[in-house]
Structure formats: structure tokens, C-alpha cells
Amino acid sequence: MEHLNQYQPPDLRLFDRLPDGFTGIAIEKLGSILPGPSLIRIEGEKGAPLFVSILLHGNETTGFTAMQQLLEGFGAPRRLLPRPMLLFVGNVAAAVRGVRKLDGQADYNRIWQGERYPEHLLARHVLAEIARAAPVAGIDLHNNTGKNPHYGCVNRLEHKSLSLARRFSKTIVWFTEPHEVLAVALSAICPAVTLECGVSGDATGTEHVENYLRHCLELPEEILFAPPANHHNDLFHTTARILLSEGTRPGFGQCDDSADICFREDLETLNFERVPEGTELGRFSKELPPIRVIDNMNETVTDRYLLFSENRILTRVPVVPSMFTRDVKIIRQDCLGYLMEPYQA
């Protein structure tokens, strides 16, 4: 296997009980009780465990805070949870530093298929342990950097996963790319969802996640997977994502000559809005715009979605954006955002 980053394959730490001090520790000190990526078994009443993943991205802290509050409220590990839990705490080193990932390190939510990075060894070990535990459901907790609603993501259009997502939000996104994310691998083992919980540090998101996880622990399976009484959904299918060429200098609003491409100031407000054809997203200064759109087959489909006219970037067709962000580091590490279309399940 070719190792393409500077880090040695991280060891997976296995815990048979919740480490002392977990519920009260500050995230910047988490490394003092978890020396690296950790899989923690937390005792509960009889039955299959609930699998939960937090901190795949070290700066997405809502899942960590909600988990601390949830476990403290249940009195774990002194008292049994209503259902056992298998908790994966991902990129501890990045979390301690408050960053998505360390420079030169693989993205912990892009390692669950393939063999390119040392972290793929970690991913295979985690997945083997999850499969052995046969969880009732899998939940991966994340935050957004841009302005987005709370929403649930599924990778398979089957009723158990859709019901899990709908219990979190009426807004649901079905995506198949990027296929290297944890939830795609989880969905081959059990019903699985990714929950996007707003921006890190927002108390509303923390409370929402804590209440959701409490229900997942307390509800019997036949109720957990039953469609909620109000089962009206806004279901979207992710069809493409927008990338900037390497080395591109993006800007927002009124840009100076240092920006190669200048997006509209309110770009994030377009997330989950039905954006009509002909909407201006930004402007570019070079002869050719340093931007491209790729679809779920990794094919370039820029001309299908965008029109370039007089140095303006316009939508060629109606679209529904998601995860548009002004965070330049996230844009460079991942993408500008995604394009979706409404979908009828």
C-alpha cells in the first residue's frame, strides 16, 4: 500500500468502558484520556448497541458536547444506558488543536474505502469491530461551516435509514458521493445516517443532538424505525459538487486584485434554497474561470450547471445548493459546496 502522507498508521484504542473523566473534560485536553482514535463500548440493557461517531473532523464539536451531556445525564458508566452504545471518537489529535484535520493528514471522513492513506488501516479495523457488534443503527455526527439547516443524510433509500433521518429533521439529503465517507460504509452493516447539526458551538444544535440520541437509546426498535407521525419530507439528491482549481485565491463581496474569483457576499444564504436559472454566484478575473463542477461519477459537468458570461458565473439550470461556505481552508481541503435537486422517494 502506498502511503501518501507523513503520518504513521494510527492505532485504534479499544475501551471496554467509558474512560473516567470523559463527560467533563475540555476538548483541548481530550488527548490526556484518549491517546488517539478510540472505540468505546458503553454498557447498557440487553440488546444490540447503537453506534455513534463523533469528531471525524476535529473542529466539529457538537457531537462531542452532546455526547458528554447525554452520558452525564444517564449517569454512565455508573448506571447502564437503556441500550448499549459503541462510540467512535475519531481525529483526537485534530480535535485537541481545534482543526478539521492536521496538515498532511488524511481527512477522517474520506478513509472508509480505498487503500491510499495509512488511515485506511484504521478504518478497516473500526469497520470490523462495528460489524462484529452488529449495531441496531449507525449515526455519524457532523457540523457545517456555512449557513445550513439541521438535516439528515442517507446513502440508501430504505425505510429504516429514512426514518432515522426524519426523526432528526424533515430536511433529508440522499447522496452517494463522496463514497469514501463513514456513513456509506456503515450503511452496508446497519441502517445509517449522517446528521448535520449546524455550526459548532451552537447550543441549539447540541440540545437537538442530545435529545435525538436519547430517543435512539430509549425507543424500542419497532418505534425507532417507524415513520414519524408527521412524515412530510423535503428530500434532496446530491448530484454534483463545486471545486476550485489548486492555488486559486477566492474572495467574497467586494474583492481586490488579490482574488482570482470573487463570490457573492451572501453565498451561504443560498443553501437549501431553490436557486433559479441565471442567478449570479460570482465573478472571475482570469480568461478562464478557476472553477469546475464534477458529478457523482467524478466526471466534469461544469457546462451542465454553470454559464460564464462577461466574467460572471451564472447558474445555467435551477439548483438547490448545500454546504456553500466562505471558509477558505475548507474550500481548499474539500470543496466550495454541493448542488442538489428535489427528489421523490
Name which of 18-27, 218-227, 228-237 the model is least confident about: 228-237
pTM above 0.75, yes or no: yes
What is the 3-class SS of 275-343, one letter each residue?
ECCCCEEEEECCCCCCEEEEECCCCECHHHHEEEECCEEEECCCEEEECCCCCHHHHHHCCCEEEEEEC
**Would you state the cell numbers that stand for residue 167, as one nine-digit string?**
426523526
Average pLDDT over residues 285-293: 87
Of 186, 188, 205, whose CA–CA distance to 53 is shortest? 186
Per residue in 65-79, pLDDT (tens digit) is 999 999 999 999 999
- Which residue did the predictor score with more confidence, 286 or 260? 260
Q: Using an 8 Å Cβ cutoff, are 330 and 100 in contact? A: yes
pLDDT at 1: 34
Per residue in 207-220, pLDDT (tens digit) is 999 999 999 999 99
Stretch (H or E) spanning 118: none
Per residue in 107-156, pLDDT (tens digit) is 999 999 998 888 999 999 999 999 999 999 999 999 998 889 999 999 99
Q: Using an 8 Å Cβ cutoff, are 250 and 261 in contact? A: yes
Per-residue pLDDT for 287 more than 60? Answer: yes
